[in-house]
Amino acid sequence: MASRFGLSVALTTPFEASGQIAISPMITQARACLGAGCSSATLFGTTGEGASVGTGERRIVTEAMLAAGIPAHQLVASVLVDAAEDAAEQARHALQCGVRNILLAPPSYFKNVSEDGLFGWFSAVFAALGPLARGVLLYNIPSVTMVPLPLALIGRLRAAFPGVVAGVKDSGGDWSYSEALLRAHGDLVILIGDERHLARSVRQGGQGAISGMANFVTSEIRAMAEDGRDDARVESFVLELLKYPVTPAVKVMVARKTGDERWLAVRPPLEPIASQGRQQLAAAYDRLFATEPA
């Protein structure tokens, strides 16, 4: 039986002043999070600005991680594109490198699409991958994609492509959906992206998380993802992050933790958090995490 998924850090992506990916600190951050108890590092997800990272860059970063000695089975690759051909190309390279899983979001340019349409798109990606297709985590994040993943769609994909769909990452923030997902597909790897619901989901059979906050409070998120342990500090800090665009806000905390300002940079159309916001986030963090868990 496959081991429990555990905690994967949704790795942020640092940039040089030129706009190029700063690969060395990214590798260092991945190593630090893995050393602190993460079971894997997820590359190019929402927190990693994956929609702004091109196919060629993904290849370079993934191969650099492997060359640096990070095992392929400790990497998850996100795919956040609309064309089935592009999705298959990005997933193919990652799977050929031996990554643990593919985190695959639905296409998001066209809105109000049908379940049949989504089934057709995912089917096209899996068919293009052929025998390589495995370990796919379907990514439900409708606040970003505006394309929710119906439970029935997950069931159809499982039935049509046995052994391909390994699980679901639910970042919808809707506990009623998460609970229904756990009931309907609890034999899959169910991961919760909203840290406010994480511990509860684990107590109900969830297998862990892919978490942006694991970049800077790794041990605290690990206790939630592995042991189902509530942490009011984490839940409160989520609310502080949500006062800002979340990805740049997470990067503020990574820059503060590492002392490396390359983590503050984001790619357009995102913008970095202004100085006042950085100060407010730091103050909130110090206020919350200066105390023991509630």
Q: Which residues are annotated as a binding site for pyruvate?
A: 47, 210
Structure token digits, residue 16: 């040089």
Q: How far is CA 111 from the centre of its chain?
A: 22
CA dist., res. 38 & res. 45, Å (int): 16
DSSP β-bridge partners for residue 165: 136
- 42 close to 48: Cβ distance less than 8 angstroms: yes
Instruction: Identify the CA nearest to 239 among candidates 176, 275, 285.
Output: 285
274 burial class (0-12, 13-18, 19+ CB within 10 angstroms)? exposed
Length of the chain: 294
Catalytic positions, written as ranges: 139, 169
Instruction: Identify the CA nearest to 205 among candidates 223, 176, 230, 179.
Output: 179
CA dist., res. 45 & res. 105, Å (int): 9
DSSP β-bridge partners for residue 203: none
Structure token digits, residue 5: 């998924």
Instruction: Identify the CA nearest to 215 among candidates 86, 18, 25, 77.
Output: 25
Instruction: Identify the CA nearest to 246 among candidates 23, 33, 49.
Output: 49
110 burial class (0-12, 13-18, 19+ CB within 10 angstroms)? exposed
List, as residue ranges, the binding site: 47, 210
